[in-house]
Amino acid sequence: MTSTDLGRPNPRQTRQRAEIRHAVEALASFATAQEVHDRLRHEGSGVGLATVYRTLQAMAGGGELDSIRNPDGQIAYRTCSPGHHHHLICRTCGRTVEVTVPQLEQLVRGMASDHGFARIDHEVEFFGVCTTCATA
Ligand SMILES: [Zn+2]
Ligand SMILES: [Zn+2]
Ligand SMILES: [Zn+2]
């Protein structure tokens, strides 16, 4: 390895990352590393579970994926539109809707500035039951 290779992902890593990204996109709703790995295996990919864990973490850290902690306490991932938003997640089928809640943003800003805080970060997800599941 020469010094120019340092910090540059090798072709195998790049390919695995693309495979993992595709699997997350195909799953549409929030998926855990285990679920992403199951899907990859289904498609005949040989990417290991540890690699899936590590890659998903890195992608979420880099803002490529959204991550939440699901009701079971597991981290789940999803490809989302850029920009600040929240999620309405069906507890039964996992269907996910991106929502913006201007009133909430205003409330948070007001509450924070009352305490002299600025540049507030927050993660709020809403879990419920979607129409399809409610009528099933
Ligand atoms: Zn999102
Ligand atoms: Zn549902
Ligand atoms: Zn918000």
Q: Residue 2: pLDDT band by 50, 70, 90 thresholds? A: very low
Res 9: pLDDT: 67
Q: Which residues surround ligand 2, an ion (CB under 5 A)?
A: 90, 92-93, 95, 130, 133
Cα separation of 77 and 3, whole Å?
Answer: 34
Res 7: pLDDT: 61
Closest CA to 31 of 61, 92, 75, 80: 75
pLDDT, tens digit (0-9, with 9 covering 90-100), for 99-111: 999 999 999 999 9
CATH of the domain at 50: 1.10.10.10
Same domain for 54 and 113?
no
Res 87: pLDDT: 95
The Å distance, Cα 100 to ligand 1 centre, comes to 10
Provide the whole-model pTM.
0.80
The Å distance, Cα 86 to ligand 1 centre, comes to 6
User: Would the pLDDT of 6 be above 70?
Assistant: no
The Å distance, Cα 110 to ligand 1 centre, comes to 24
Cα separation of 40 and 30, whole Å?
Answer: 15
pLDDT, tens digit (0-9, with 9 covering 90-100), for 75-86: 999 999 888 999
Total domains in the chain come to 2
Same domain for 7 and 37?
yes
Structural domain for 87, as ranges = 82-136
Alpha-helix runs per DSSP H in 28-114: 33-42, 49-61, 102-114
